[in-house]
Structure 1
Amino acid sequence: MGTRQQHVPMPEVTLSGFDTGLSEEEQGIQQVVHRFARDVMRPLGRELDRLPAEEAYLPGSPFWQFHTELQKLGLGAEAMGELPPVQAARLEAILIEEMAWGDAGLAVSFGAGGMPLMMARASGNQELIDLCEGKLGCWCGTQPDKGSDVLMLYPEQRYPGSKGNKGNLVAVFENDEIVINGQTSAWVSNGAVAQVALVDAVADYGDGFYDEQGNTFGCNVIVPLDLKGISRGKPLEKLGKRPLPQGEIYFDNVRVPRRFAIATRDDHEIKHAQAWAYAGTAMSLIATGLARAAFELALAYAHERKQGGAMLATHQLTQYRLGGIGMKVEAIRAMARHVSHFTKCSPRPHPYFTAAGKAFCCSELMTVARESLQLFGGVGLTREFPIEKLLRDAQAMQIEDGENNILQTHYGYLLSTLYQQDGWGRA
C-alpha cells in the first residue's frame, strides 16, 4: 500500500509580500492604511490624474478630500515622534509603502505636508509647532537655478576655484527679522496650495553669503504662506505624479521674526543634511509601494489574459518575467527599509547613503513599471488600465528629490572619502 507524497506547502505572505516578523500592531496598521490606500487614495488619485492642473487642487477637489480623510487616520509627525527609533523606522516603512501603493503623488503630498511640523517639533519651539499644526506644509528646497546641486555638501566636490551655488532665494538677517527674496522652483511639492513652508535658503548674517572657502551660509525658516509679499505660480502641468500639486512660490521682501528660524549659521548644514536624508528615505519607501502596485497589476492581468490558448500566467516565459520583476520589488523593499533603519537609528546618518537608496530604489522601480506595462501588451498604453499612470509616476521618481545619476555620484564620493580618510574598505 503506497503512501501519499507530501508536497512542500506554500509560504505565508503578507500584504507586502515575503515579509515576516511583523507584530500584531504593525499588521493592524498595515491593514488599516492598505484599506485607505485602496478605497480612498486610488480612486481619488486616478480622478486627479485626469484633471487639468488648474482644476485639480481647487477647494472641494479630490485633492482636499484626500487630506480631509487622511486626518481621520491620525497619522503624522506627532505620532511617529513619540516612538523609539527602531519602531518608528519599521512603522514609517509600512505606512509609506502602503500609501504609495495607493497613489505615489498623494503619498508625497502627505510626506511634504508634514515637513514644517516635523522640523518645528524637532526644534522644540512651541510657537512654531502651533503655527504648523493642522496646516498643509511644503518644503522650499529647490530653485530654478539650484536643483540637484542643493545636496552637494562638501567644497571638494565643486570645480576648483568655484563658489557654492547661491541660487536666487536668499534670506538676510536684520536685527530681529529675516527678509526673504527670490523664488522657489516649480517643483515644490504642495507649493501651489500649502499654508506653511519650511524655507531652506542661503543666508546673509551681516558679512555676506560666503565664508572664506566659498561655502554659502544658510538657514531653515518656518514661514506662514499668507504673509505680505508671498505669491504663487500656477500649478504645474506635468507627465507624472499629477495628483501632487507642485508650483513655484515667490518672495518679495517677506519679513518673518528671527525666532521663526530653526537652523542658522552654526547648525544649518547639519539640519539641511537631516532634511535631505528624510526626503531620500521617503522616496525609497514610495518607490517600494509604487513598484509593488505595478507588479500586482501585471500579476493580475497575466491571470486574466489568454494567449496561445492558455492564460498568460501559465506560459513559462511569462513566469520568468514575473519572477524577474517580483525579485526587484523585494530588493527595492529591502534597500528602502535598510535606508530607513539606518537614517533613524544610526548615531550619524548621512544623506549620501540615503541618496544611494533613493537612486537604487527608483532606478529599479522604473524597470519594474516598464516591464509590468510590457506584459499588458498594447492595452497597457491605453487609459483603460492604470498601469500607464504608474509608468508616468515612476518616470517622475527618477528626477524628483535629486536626479538619480547625481545621487549615485554623491554616494561614490562618500565611499571614496571613507576609504581615503578612515580606511574603510581596506583589507
Structure 2
Amino acid sequence: MVIVFVLVALLVLAVLVTANWYVWRRLFRDTTRGPGWMRRAGGVLVAGGWALAVGALVAERTGAPFWLQQTLAWPGFLWLALSIYLLLALVAGEVVRPLLRRLLERRARTETAVREPEPEPVPVGAPPATPDTPPAAEGPSSPLTLPSRRLFVSRVVGGAAAVAAAGTVGYGTYGVLSGPKVKRVTVPLARLPRAAHGYRIAVVSDIHLGPVLGRGFAQKVVDTINSTQPDLVAVVGDLVDGSVKDLGPAAAPLAQLKAPAYFVTGNHEYFSGAGQWVEEVRRLGLIPLENARRELPYFDLAGVNDVSGESEGQGPDFAKALGDRDKARACVLLAHQPVQIHDAVDHGVDLQLSGHTHGGQLWPGHLLAAAANPTVVGLERYGDTQLYVTRGAGAWGPPTRVGAPSDITVIELASRQA
C-alpha cells in the first residue's frame, strides 16, 4: 500500500513539474532571445507561485497562525487558479500556433513576389553590366525571417494566453467576492399536505469562511438569505475552514438569520474541529442536526453527519435519524455529500438537500466532480427520492469560480394535493 502511494505521489509530482516546465517554456523561453533576465524571472515566478500555493494549503490544514494563513492564501490560491488557466490557454494556443505561422509565411511569399519585378529587356548594343554598376534601390523592408516569425508567433500566443487566463481568473474571483445569487427551484413532494404548498427552504452550502472569505462575505450570505424571506434555512455543511478561535467573529453574522436555521456538518468541519463548531452554531441560534430529526408541522426534517466523521466515530447514522419516523409524513433530509443519497433512498426520504461538489468550481472541474458524485448540481430523482445539489455560496482554495457560479437556492415545496 505504501509503495502504491509513493508511486502515485511521484506520478503526480512528475505531471506537475512537466506542466509547469511547459508553461515556463511557452511564456518565457520561447518569447525571448538568449538566456536573459526575463527567463530567470519567469522561473522564479512559476516556482515561487507554487511555493506560495503549497504553503497556503499546508498552513490551512496544519492550523498555522491565522495571520500566516491570510498572508499566504491570497497570492497562493490565486496562483493556483491562474496556473490552471494558463496551462489550458497555452494548450489551446498549440492549435493556433501553426495556423498563424502559415499565415505569416504566405504573407512573406506575397511580399517577396511584389518586391521582385520582372527584369527589363536589355537594348541591342547596350554595354554589359559591370561590377561597378550600382545596385538597384532596395524595396520595402524584407519580410520576417524564420526565427523572427517563430518569436513573433510565440509572443502573440503567449500574450493572448496570459491575458485570457488573467481575465478568466479575475472575472471568476469577482463573481465569488460579489456574493452568491439566488436560484429558485420548485420540488413537488407526494406526501406533502396541501397546507404546506409553497413552503420555502433556503439551501446554503460550502460557504467556506477562512483566511480569504471572512465576516464581510458571511454578511452578504446572510443578507441574501434574509432577502428571500424563507420559511426555513438549511446550512448543509462546509461552513468554515479553520478553528472557532480564528473564525468565530467571521461566522457571527449567522446570528442575524431571521428564519429558523438548521445545520449539518460537512467534511471540512472535521478538518476544523467539528464539535466546537456544532456548539458555536448552536450559540449563534442555529439548530444542529447530528443524526437527528425534527417533526415540523408539515413534514419531518432530518440531518445526518458527514461521512468524514466516521474517522472520529461521528459518521452518519441514518437509522438513528430516520429509523422510527412516521412513513406517512413527508421527509426532507440534510446531508452534505450527494453520495449519501443511496442511504436516503433506503430509508424512504422524499428529498435530500446536499452541497459539497461546488458544481466543479473551476471548469473543467465538473468532470472530476461527476466521477466522484452521483449528481454534481441540480435536481435528480433516485427511485422515489429526489436529490437537490447546490453549487454552494463560497469557494474552497482559490476564491474563484469558472463555469460554476455560486448560489443560494430557494426550494419551494409543492403539494400534489394542491
Above 0.5 in TM-score?
no
Q: Which has the higher contact order (CA 8 A, sep 6+)?
A: 2
Compute the TM-score of the two structures, normalised by the length of structure 2: 0.26
* Greater C-alpha radius of gyration: 2
